[in-house]
C-alpha cells in the first residue's frame, strides 16, 4: 500500500542521511592529513556541491519535461551508484590499513563494513518493490554498489593518497545527497504513479515518513556500532 511504500522509501532516506554524515566525518579527518596547499577541508563542500549539481542536471534531463521524479529501476541504479562511491571510500580505509601493516584492523574493517552495508541493500531495493526486475538487474546493482569497495582496497593498499581519498569521499557525499532529493521527490509526488490518491500524494512530512527516516538512522547507527566497538 501507499503508506508501506512511503515508510520503506523514508527508511532509504534515513540510511542515506546517515551515510552522508558518516562520510563527511571521515572526509574531514582524512582532509586534515592532505598537503596543506590543497586546503583539503575546503575541497569537501566544493566537490560535493559540484557533484550534486552535475547529477541533478543529468537527472533532470532523464526525468522528462514535466519534472516527474525518477522511480523503479532508474532510481535504484542511482541509489546503487551513490552507495558505490561511499563504499569506494570504505575500501580505501581497508586498503590503507593493510598498507600500514595493520592486518587485524583491515580484516576487522572488512567484517564490520560487510555487516554495516547489508542494510544499504534495503535502500537499493526499495524503489523496485512494485517492479519485477530480472536477476540480471540484481547482479548489476550489486556490482555497482559493491565493486567500488574492491577497487578502493587496491587503491588504498598500493597508491593511497589523502588528497584523492578526500575527493572520492566528497564525490560520494554529493551523489548520496542527490539520491536523497530524488527519493524525497518520489515520496512527495506519490509512490503509486499518476493515479495515486490524495492520501498517497504530498506525504513527505507525516508520521509514516518520519518513522521511516528514524528507523533508517537507527539501523545504520546500530550497525555502525559494530565497527566502532
**Chain segment 184-215, per-residue pLDDT in tens:** 887 887 754 444 454 545 567 888 889 999 99
Q: Is 137 helix (H, G, I), strand (E, B) or coil?
A: helix
- pTM of the full structure: 0.72
pLDDT in tens, 131-171: 788 889 999 999 999 999 899 888 888 887 888 888 888 88
CA distances from 66 to 23, 52, 60, 63, 69 (A): 33, 21, 10, 8, 9
Q: Is 32 helix (H, G, I), strand (E, B) or coil?
A: coil
User: Would you tell me how many other CB atoms lie within 10 Å of the CB of residue 13?
Assistant: 23
CB-side exposure of 23: number of CA atoms within 13 Å? 33
Calpha distance 64→69 (Å, rounded):
9
Q: Is 81 helix (H, G, I), strand (E, B) or coil?
A: helix
Amino acid at each position: 500500500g501507499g503508506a508501506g511504500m512511503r515508510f520503506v522509501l523514508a527508511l532509504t532516506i534515513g540510511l542515506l542521511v546517515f551515510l552522508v554524515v558518516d562520510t563527511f566525518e571521515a572526509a574531514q579527518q582524512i582532509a586534515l592529513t592532505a598537503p596543506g596547499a590543497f586546503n583539503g577541508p575546503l575541497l569537501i563542500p566544493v566537490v560535493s556541491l559540484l557533484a550534486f549539481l552535475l547529477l541533478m542536471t543529468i537527472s533532470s534531463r532523464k526525468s522528462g519535461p514535466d519534472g516527474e521524479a525518477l522511480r523503479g529501476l532508474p532510481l535504484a541504479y542511482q541509489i546503487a551508484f551513490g552507495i558505490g562511491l561511499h563504499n569506494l571510500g570504505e575500501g580505501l580505509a581497508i586498503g590503507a590499513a593493510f598498507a600500514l601493516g595493520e592486518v587485524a584492523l583491515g580484516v576487522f574493517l572488512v567484517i564490520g563494513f560487510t555487516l554495516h552495508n547489508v542494510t544499504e541493500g534495503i535502500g537499493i531495493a526499495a524503489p523496485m518493490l512494485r517492479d519485477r526486475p530480472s536477476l540480471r538487474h540484481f547482479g548489476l546493482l550489486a556490482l555497482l554498489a559493491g565493486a567500488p569497495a574492491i577497487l578502493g582496497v587496491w587503491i588504498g593498499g598500493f597508491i593511497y593518497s589523502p588528497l584523492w581519498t578526500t575527493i572520492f569521499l566528497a564525490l560520494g557525499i554529493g551523489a548520496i545527497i542527490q539520491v536523497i532529493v530524488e527519493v524525497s521527490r518520489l515520496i512527495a509526488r506519490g509512490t503509486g504513479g499518476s493515479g495515486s490518491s490524495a492520501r498517497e500524494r504530498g506525504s513527505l512530512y507525516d508520521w509514516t515518513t518520519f518513522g521511516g527516516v528514524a528507523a533508517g538512522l537507527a539501523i545504520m547507527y546500530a550497525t555502525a556500532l559494530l565497527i566502532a566497538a
